[in-house]
């Protein structure tokens, strides 16, 4: 049996808490409080972390840690990333400039160590214009460095598929001697 510590990074509203809840089957620890940010339409925001322990088929476990997205809590990120096997970077497709958003969080993850990362592009259903154009822009930013997938953070099936990609990346890194 293997255990994987996975950290979910991204800006406020990108779907981090929703992603953790989608696969937690109600077993989640969260630190959500009323949101006081006047520039956000969210009712609540995470101030420390979301946590869920997920049993996978075959006996493996995911220990998911959702990081707070507001920059005033970014001091928490290095602590959450310490010892992580991989990172899910959730990117809100409606947030501009998209390239700055992606690069910022990729840099944060890379500064914590060389670990597998997957990018989940959320809220594609809300973009102005063609969602494929947004996917292409995000893909151009990551330039094949990490896997990119559209994801509805509310969908357990889509979240588990994203986790499967990340676990495959982690196992590949282990086989190659990088982890």
Burial 149-160 (b: 16+ CB within 10 A, else e): ebbbbeeeebbb
Contact (Cβ atoms closer than 8 angstroms) between residue 92 and residue 11:
yes
Distance, in Å, from the CA atom of 135 to the CA atom of 38, rounded to the nearest integer, reads 29
* pLDDT tens for each residue of 64-77: 999 998 888 889 99
Domain definitions of the chain by residue range: 3-176
Task: Categorize the per-residue pLDDT at 84 as very low, low, confident or very high, splitting at 50, 70 and 90.
Answer: very high
Q: How far, in Å, CA of 129 to CA of 143, rounded?
A: 22
Residue in 104, 120, 100, 94 with CA at minimum distance from that of residue 6: 120
H-helix or E-strand spanning residue 81: helix 77-81
Q: Give the per-residue pLDDT at 141.
A: 86
* Domain at 3-176, CATH class: alpha beta
> What 3-state DSSP class applies to 150?
strand
pLDDT tens digits for range 44-63: 555 558 899 988 878 888 99
What gap in Å lies between CA 131 and CA 156, rounded to an integer? 21
Q: State the angle between helix axes of 131-142 and 98-111 in degrees (0 to 180), rounded to the nearest 10.
A: 40
How much is the average pLDDT of 92-110?
90
DSSP strand E in the chain: where?
3-10, 28-29, 32-34, 44-46, 50-55, 61-66, 86-92, 117-122, 148-150
List pLDDT tens digits, range 155-179: 999 999 999 999 999 999 989 887 6
Q: Are 90 and 21 in contact (CB under 8 A)?
A: no
């Amino acid at each position: 049996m293997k255990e994987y510590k996975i950290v979910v990074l991204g800006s406020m509203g990108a779907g981090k808490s929703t992603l953790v809840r989608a696969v937690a089957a109600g077993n989640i620890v969260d630190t959500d409080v009323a949101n006081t940010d006047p520039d956000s339409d969210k009712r609540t925001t995470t101030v420390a972390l979301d946590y869920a322990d997920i049993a996978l088929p075959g006996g493996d476990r995911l220990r998911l840690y959702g990081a707070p997205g507001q920059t005033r809590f970014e001091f928490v990120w290095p602590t959450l990333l310490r010892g992580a096997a991989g990172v899910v970077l959730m990117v809100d497709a409606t947030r501009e400039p998209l390239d700055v958003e992606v690069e910022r969080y990729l840099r944060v993850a890379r500064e914590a160590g060389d670990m597998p990362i997957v990018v989940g592009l959320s809220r594609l259903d809300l973009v102005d214009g063609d969602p494929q154009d947004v996917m292409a822009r995000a893909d151009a930013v990551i330039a094949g460095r990490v896997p990119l997938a559209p994801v509805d953070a509310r969908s357990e099936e889509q979240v588990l598929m994203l986790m499967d990609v990340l676990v495959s990346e982690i196992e590949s890194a282990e086989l190659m001697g990088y982890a």
